[in-house]
Structures are given as C-alpha cells and as structure tokens.
Structure 1
Amino acid sequence: MNLYKSRFLLLLLLATTALSACKKQWDDRTAIADQQLDKNLMQKIQENSNLSIFAGYLTKIGYDKVLSASKTYTVWAPDNQALQGIDATIVADTAKLRLFVSNHISNQAYLTANANPSLRVRTFTGKRITFTPTTVEDATITTANQYVNNGVLHIINKTLAPKLNIYEYIQSLTTVGALHKAYLQRQDSTFVDSSKATVASVDPATGKNVLVPGTGIVTRNKYFTNVANLASEDSLYTYFVLTDDAYNAERNKVSRFFITSSVDTTMNMLAAFNVLKDVAVKGVIPQANLGGTILSVKGIQVPVNPAAIVQTYNASNGIVYVVNSMNFKLEEKIPPIIIQGETPTGFLTTTNRANIQYRTKRDNNGVLYSDIQLSGANLPASYYARYRLSNLYTCQYTVAWRAINDFAYATATNLSQRLGFSQIGYFFVPATGSVYSAQVQFPYTTVTPQNFTEVTLTSATTNASFIPIATPTINATAGTLNVTKYASVNMYLQGSTGTALNTNVFTLDYVKLIPIY
C-alpha cells in the first residue's frame, strides 16, 4: 500500500509541476516585460539609446512634457533604424513632425493582451491604427509591454506615418476617378449649426443669439449619410473607385431607367447614385480574396474582377481599389418593386375601419406572411385601398400579385364564396390638382379559394379619358404597365362593384412590378 501511495504522490507532484510550467509559459505570453513605476514614459524613452531620435522629435514638438504628465498613454516608439528613412521635410516642418509623431501615441494604456486578436486604437491624430499582440499596422513590435507610471511603451521596427482615409484619398486623385470624385464632392453641403457656433451677443429686440460670423459651420455629405461614411475613422470599408470609362459605362447602362425632363438630373443625380451606391463593402477585403461577387452595404452583389484593378491604397479606415471595369447586372441594379398589401396610404373613406383586417398567417407551406383583407357588412361598392409608389423606374413592367383567398371555401353554399371574389388593380398619375395624366387599369380578376401562388395580371388598358396631356407618364403596352417618366404614382386595389354582403371582399399580400429589361 505504501508503494502505491508513494507512486501516486510522485505522479501528483509531476502533474502539478507540469501544470505550473504551462501556466508560467501562458502568463509569460502577455506579461508586462518591464515594470518601472518610478519612471514616466518620457524618462523610459530617453534612457533607451536606440530611441534617441524619437526622443529628440518628442522634445522638438513639446511632447516631452506631455509624456511626463500624469495622464495615461500608450507609445509605439520607432527605433533609430526605423527613423533613418524619414522624409527630411517632415523633420524640418514642426506641424508635419507633430502630425507624424502623434500617430505613434494614444490615450489609455494598451498591453498586447488587450489586442485579442486585434484592436483598432485611436491615436492623437484622430486616425485609428490596428494593434495586434505582435504588430501595429505593418510594424513588428520588437519590445512589448514596458509599463511605467503613466502608461505603456512598445518599441517597433517601422514608423506609423498617418494614412489618408478613403475620402481623403479619393480627393487626392488626379489622374483617375475624376467623375467619381466629382460626384462625391457634389454631395457636400454646409450649414450653420447654432449649437456649435460662438455667441457674440443677444439681440435685445428678439432675444435671439447673435452668432460670430464663420462659426458653427458644419459640412454634411449626403452620400455618407445614405450609403457609407468614407471619412469616418470608426468604420472599415472596402471601396471601389471607378475610372471615368467604367463610371460612364455603368451610368449609361442604367440611365434609361431614370428618364426625367433634365439630362443633368437623369445622368448626374439618379443614374450616378444608382451606380455608386453599390461600390462600398463593409470590412477590409484583401486583393487575394477578391473575385466573383461580394455584397455591398446596400445589399447588392458587386462583381469584382481582380484584373480590373489599376490602383490600390491602404487607407486609415479600409482599402481602396481603383477599377477600370465593374459590370453590374441590371437585375441587381434595377430589381422588382414590391408593394406590401398591409402598407396602404389611404382608403376610399375613413368610415370603414371595422372592415379592415391586417393579418399575419401561415401559407400552405407553413411560411408566415402578412396581408390586408377588407370584408363584412356596409362595405361600399368599388371600395379601394390606395398605395403610394415612389419614383418608379422608367421601363415596362410585368405586374403580378399574391392575393390569398382563405375567405371563400368550396364547401360554402353561396356561389360567390365557392368561386371566389373579384378585384382589380389600377394606377393613376396625378398631373395637376385633381386632373390625372393617365389611368392604367388591369381587369377584374377572380381570386380563387386557397390559391397561394403569385398571379400575373394581363390585358392592361389605358383609359383615354384620363389623358388630358399629349405624353402621359404611364400607359399600357402589350398588357404591361409602361412608365415613360421617372415619377411617383398612386396604385389602387379595388373590390367589385356589388354591395351584397361578402361579394366585394378583396385581399392582398403584395403587388410586384417586374421590370422588363
């Protein structure tokens, strides 16, 4: 028994020793390499002869006092060899040198253990740098985690020159991307934000603040708001800048879907936005991973051919590829328009709320859907729901709907219930006041019981009595809806002309306008 006990104790001791050794190796991985709480960052940098050049730069711009203060910082200090190749004009210009040095310093203390697996750290410049357990940007950390009383020092083998963000880079382009650049610049607008302006005095007559001229001026870019903020250091994008030929090719491809009375509006506003809203992608995608398609921030598949890349730039907030081709598919750029039945903008009257049901149900495949159904007593003849369709593409559309009739059953005794009910859809375009430039009407269609399929509407007609102008915005062509000018229209879903109970019911899951390319 004593022999077994001795062997057990020996094995336990070996296991404990091994575990302790493993734990020590793990702790060493992220341990503070040098802890000197009696020194500050500037003192720590000055005592290292291999950081003498960087120490001199800090003193020249007055940052020696900053790094001697009690506030906490992290410094990524390039060694003397890394600073040998710095541009002499940067060293000679105090403002440029301050910007350069500032990109190596951040507020707060960051140990390599904090970067798991990486961390985007904001530096004094406002730019963010990518920090990992072994690198910062493309520099290797040669000595890490030197902890002093006001922060952490890491020594690196390369400099961290501030990078342009994506928008700054696009603005710097001179030989490529001129049209793309001009579009983005046109989206800038400036205004005075009184909350950010300096108040000079108060007008005694009105009691309103009198602002100092030139203060509180704010610039806002519509593209940044609606697509992607290319100037933000807090986001990461992969962005494709189109050369002028590529820009024109894609803009010309879609321009026929945005016909207006102004060529400038068609080409430089609507068609241009349709193209450029889909050249931003979330995250940084290396060139080696490009090919095929990737998803834009607006949910469109972006076709990327690596052979079309003519220029690449690693920005502070992502990566930019200048491309001489981007062959978008029309089906992606001009998708079907879907009008959901449960989102009407109005009805024939406001007195029949009790007849309106907004429903969520499961179809025959168990899939949830939402729709609208109007039924019941006192529903007037030809009662309708109105829908506002904003900015329809200029093209021909095949029109389809999904209208699910679970109101009528084959076992019902009433003939209309057995056969289903009729409803129509039609489109109006207001011209002036109550006058309409056109009415396109699809015929009454019977909605049969328990039919869950999408039905294509045919035999559309244009009502000539609704065309007081020579060139109507909409008309019917070969049984389709034809939109000839980029416009907003009203669509109506209407029940039958009868008033007998349960004969003028109507229902709608959705209407789909499918462009004919």
Structure 2
Amino acid sequence: MNHIKIKLLTLIVLVVAVISCKKQWDNQSAGTDQQLNQNLMQAISAQSNLSTFAGYLSKLGYDKLLSTSLTYTVWAPDNQALSTIDQSIVADTAKLRAFVNNHIAKQSFFTADAKTGIRVRTLGGKRITFTATTVEDATITTPNRYVANGVLHVINKALPPKMNIYEFIKNLTGTGQLVRTYILGQDTSYVDTTKATVAGIDKTTGKPILVAGTGLVSMNKYATRVANIQSEDSLYTFFVLTDNAYNNERNKVSKYFKTVSGSADTTMNMLAALNVLKDVAVKGVVLPANLPASLTSVNGVPMPIDKSTIVQSYQASNGIVYVIDKMDFAVSDKITPIIIQGEAPTFFARTDRRSNYAYRVKNDPSGVTYHDLMVSGSGLPAAYYAGYRLSNLYTCQYKVIWRAINDFYATPTNISQRLGFSMIRNTVGRDGFLPLVQFPYTNVTPLNYNEVTLTGATNPNPTAGGTISVVSGTLSVDKYSSVDMFLQGANSTTVNANIFTADYIKLIPILN
C-alpha cells in the first residue's frame, strides 16, 4: 500500500515540475528576440540605430545602471526619432535626465502584457501608456527583445515627459490666469511628524522635539478636496475656464456666498470660486473626438460642453486639459437643496432622556424603506427638542419642507411640532434656545407620508445684522454661516402629548 502512495506522490511532483517549467518558458517566450547573454546596455550599444540614445545613457551614468542585475524595461528611440530633439535638453543635465527617465521603467513589460493598454510608471515618476503596438504616441518598431536584465523595445518617436494637469495650470500664460491663481492659492504645507527629524523629547509634555524645517510636506487643498490633479496615478479630464468664462460663472453664484451682509468680499470670492471650480474635473480621459455635449463632474454636477469654445487642449501625463471660453452651468445644479436627516441630530435639549429616543427603520405604504427619529414616552420635558447643526448655508431665501411620519398608534391623533432656527452664538442653556426664525406649531396627521411645506415663520428675537431672518414667512440666510435648527415637541408634559418625529427636513434655495 505504501509503495502505491509513493508512486502517486512522485507523479504529483513531476506534474508540478512540468507546469512550473512551462510557466517559466511562457514568461521567457514573451520576448520574440532572446539574447540572454547580453544586458540592456550591451543590447542598446550593439544597435547602430540606437547610438544617440546610448550616448545619452553613458553621459548620465545610466550605462552602469542598465548593466546591473536589476530588471528594467527600456523603450529606446532610434536615431531618426532623436534627430529633432531640442538641443537645450541635451545641454542641460537635469532636463536630459528627466527625458531619459521617461523611457525606462523598473521590471519587465512585454507587449503581451499590454494588449488592452497599461500605464507604466517610469524612473522619472511619470506614467506612460503602453499597448501591444505603441507607447504613448510612438510606434514600437522592434518589440520584446529579451535580455539578461530586462526587455528592450525600439520606438520611432521620443517620449519627452509631459506635465501633469497641476503642472500645466502652474505654467499657464495668457488666458486662464484667474483659475491658475485660485489653484496655486490652494498650495500649502504642514509638518508630518513621522517624516521629521527628532532632536529629543520634551520632559514636560513627553512629546518629541522636532528639528526645524524637517518633515515639511507640501500639498494642494484643491487636489485633496476635489480632484487629485497632482497625482500621476490618477486620470482626469480637466477644464480650465478662461478669465471671461470664470468671471461669468462666479458672478452667477457669488450672491449665495455673502460673508458680509449686503456686500462682497475676498472670502465670498474664494467660496464662489470653489463652487464653480469643484465641477470642472471629470474622472477618466475624454479625448476631443469623443467629447459629448455634457459631462458629469467628479461631484455629480452636469457640465455643459460647447466644443466650439475650446481654445486649447493638452495631453497631460495624468489626463487631458481643455482651456474653454464657456461653461454655462445651471445655477440650480450648483446651488442645491440641503437635506437634513431626522435620525441624525447633533444634540438634544438634555442628555438624560436617551430612553425617549427611537431611531427607526421602517417601510412606507409603497414599500420604500425610510429611517427616522421619534421622541416620545414618559418623563419628556415640555417643548423638548432635537438640535441639528447646519454648516455653511447659502445666502438666500429657503422653502422649508419636512417629511414627518405619525404612526403612533397608542393615541391616533395629530402630533404637534415645530421648527426653529438660531444663530449658534444665541443658544441659551440646555433647556431652551433663542429662536431668530420660528415656524408655528404644525400638525403631523396620522399616516401621512407626504412632504409638507412649512409657512408662516416669524422673527421673535430679531437681531440687527444677524445671520438669519424672515422673508415672506420663511427662512432667509443673510450671511454665509452655520446655524442651529431645532425640531421641537409641544409645550406639554402630558405623556404622548409632546411627541415629535422626522424622516428629513429639506431647505430648498429659492433662486433668482
């Protein structure tokens, strides 16, 4: 019995060995021209039509790099491809190094690996697009020469490193200067303590003492907040608005970002600028031939595209840039409704009534699932409320809507509740607030799943020059700011007489 097991084990080992050998052979056979007795530098030097590129490698000391046992892929431009290169690049060592780096990548890349196209990171940090027949816009004339330390492809065009989208904007001259100013204005830096040099430990705080000037990291807030146009690993289609187009779009939305009541200021301009420029980037690359009449921005906003107004285009290392003289955004797509979920309050009037809160998940009569908040039960103080902190409301008048569902079956009668709004600094005590805008108590009728528009707001505690006020019986935000909203139950301590509930509240900007 044992000898049968031994034979079976031997057979399995032989099968695995055969499969392993086949994989190794398949990997090697990806190279159509195998010369494993040569390294990359020897292979390049042996070809007379690559003598110019070989000279650049030797000038930079890369002849030694490409003679090591480390694995590289080289896309070598032939002499004809390099005959028209700007000689200022050759004369400047830093520029020449950046140029040559863009033709070399670590690891082996065969055309068989790139049947549908891949983006390869070069020694210079840029990514180049490699397909079965091309690299960038160069044709591979001699592919897959497999040598001892990598792969050599001969190409018919040079591959000068491209700027990424951020670098293109940074180097803009002439048109697009207002966008350039904004984007570069988002540059900042911070100290990354994990990268800083530690000089010692503060005996009082126990915190490390960092060497001044170390660990400093640069970043661009637009890249982190909207689209990472600095990253070589990202791909975007980006639209730079000309100064005229930028001003037109910013002027359309600037009145919704007043930080000083009744006037404009620098902060307003920055806020309005962000509202416009957060929607000029699209994920992925859309080439000119494929540009539609509308795209969708990274933030989901429709971008109207009139191709006749494109004044310049540039293929960047991480996408494509269009300089465009018109992008007529719809204001309703930029200044959008604010939805506050009832089940997500920021705070309550008191912290000792948790037993009265129910965060519910239910289905409405149509079978649609909703989440809401219901506050009910014994011990609930009169006029108890849930508070919601609303950040950075647009400066305009709002239509206020709620969806509040009354399915309290113990007492199938109306629920009476109301909304109030206050400037944050005017909140007083834990059992009350000072409303600047107060909607009247409104009945929530049993099993009504519809939205209800609130009207008849008053201004019980007017504040001159305040953040919010009442216009035509509804909420008006006069300064771009944050406010507190209060969902409040009836002024009663009778059990179940002061219930309140909310699925959501909508603040819909009234645009004009």
TM-score, normalised to structure 2, is 0.89
SS in 1 for 2:123: coil
Counterpart of 1:17 in structure 2 is none
SS of the counterpart of 1:385? strand
1:171 aligns with 170
> 1:40 maps to what in 2?
39
Q: Please tell me the residue identity of whatever aligns with 1:278.
A: D
Query: 1:216 offset after TM fit, Å?
Result: 2.8
Deviation for aligned residue 1:264: 3.4
The 1-side partners of 2:248 and 2:153 are apart by 50
- 1:324 aligned residue: 325
Deviation sequence 1:288-332 (CA, Å, 0-9, x none): 222322111122111211112111010001100111111111111
Q: What is residue 71 of structure 1 aligned with on the other side?
A: 70
SS of the residue corresponding to residue 81 of structure 2 reads coil
Look up the equivalent residue of 2:500 and give its one-letter code.
F
CA distance, structure 2, for counterparts of residue 403 and residue 177 of structure 1: 48
SS at match of 1:418: coil
Equivalenced residue count is: 479
Q: 2:18 corresponds to which residue?
A: none
Question: Cα deviations across residues 6-33 of structure 1 (Å, max 9, x unaligned)?
Answer: xxxxxxxxxxxxxxxxxxxxx99x8421
Structure 2 matches for 1:274-353, cutoff 5 A?
Answer: 274-353=275-354
- Structure 2 residue identity aligned to 1:448: T
How big is each residue's C-alpha offset from its partner over 1:461-500, in whole Å with a ceiling of 9 and x where there is no partner? 111xx22x42232122112211111111111111112222
Q: Which residue is equivalent to 2:119?
A: 120
Q: Could you report, residue by residue, the CA deviation over 1:246-275 in whole angstroms, capped at 9, with x for unpaired residues?
A: 111111111110111283344332111111
Taking structure 1 as reference, are residues 391 and 88 closer, same or farther at Cα in structure 2, changes over 3 Å only?
Answer: same
State the distance in 1 between where 2:506 and 2:53 align.
Answer: 65
Query: What corresponds to 1:19 in structure 2?
Result: none
Structure 1 vs Structure 2 CA RMSD: 2.2
Q: Deviations over 1:32-71 (max 9, x none)?
A: 2111111111111111122121111111111111111100
Which has the larger displacement, 481-490 or 185-194? Answer: 185-194
User: Quick one: distance in 1 between partners of 2:454 and 2:386?
Assistant: 18
Aligned equivalents of 2:101, 2:459: Cα separation in 1: 68
Give the letter aligned to residue 196 of structure 2: A
Q: Deviations over 1:398-418 (max 9, x none)?
A: 00000111214xxx7xxxx33
> Of 459, 463, 485, which aligns to 1:462?
459
1:508 is matched with which residue: 485, 502, 508?
Answer: 502
1:462 match: secondary structure:
coil
Measured against aligned partners, the alpha-carbon deviations of 1:411-451 in whole angstroms (never above 9, x if no partner) come to x7xxxx33321111111114467498852111111111111
Q: CA deviation at 1:227?
A: 0.7
**1:7 match:** none
**Cα contact 2:423–2:468 (8 A) shared by 1:** yes
Helix, strand or coil at the partner of 1:255: helix
C-alpha displacement of 1:202? 4.2
TM-score (norm 1): 0.88
- Give, in angstroms, the shift of residue 213 of structure 1: 4.9
* Cα distance in 2 for residues equivalent to 1:354 and 1:203: 47
Change (3 A) 1:209 1:378: closer
* Aligned residues of 1:290 and 1:305 also touching (Cα < 8 A): no
Query: Where does residue 22 of structure 1 map in the other structure?
Result: none
Evaluate the alpha carbon distance shift between residue 115 and residue 472 of structure 1 in structure 2; reply closer, same or farther with a 3 A threshold: same
- Counterpart CA distance in 2 for 1:443 and 1:192 is 51
Q: For the residues of structure 2 that align with 1:205 and 1:372, how far apart are their CA atoms?
A: 50
CA distance in 1, matches of 2:87, 2:485: 68
Question: Equivalent residue for 2:17?
Answer: none
Q: Could you tell me how far apart the structure 2 residues matched to 1:194 and 1:242 are? A: 38
Q: Is the 8 A contact 2:71 2:149 kept in 1?
A: yes
In the TM superposition, 1:445-456 aligns within 5 A as 445-456=442-453
Q: What residue is the counterpart of 2:104 in the other structure?
A: 105
Counterpart residue number, 2:268: 267
CA distance in 2, matches of 1:397, 1:482: 6
User: Gaps spanning 5+ residues in structure 2: where?
Assistant: 1-25
Unaligned runs of 5+ in 1: 1-26
Aligned to 1:481: 475
Alpha-carbon distance, 1:220 to partner: 1.8
**How many angstroms apart in 2 are the aligned matches of 1:438 and 1:338?**
21
Cα drift, residue 194 of structure 1? 4.0
Closer, same or farther: CA 432–510 of 1 in aligned 2, 3 Å: closer
Q: 2:419 is matched with which residue?
A: 425
2:373 aligned residue: 372
Moved more, 424-433 or 267-276: 424-433
Q: Is the 8 A contact 2:259 2:265 kept in 1?
A: no
**How big is each residue's C-alpha offset from its partner over 1:120-141, in whole Å with a ceiling of 9 and x where there is no partner?**
1110111000111111111111
In the TM superposition, what is the alpha-carbon distance from 1:208 to its structure 2 partner? 7.3
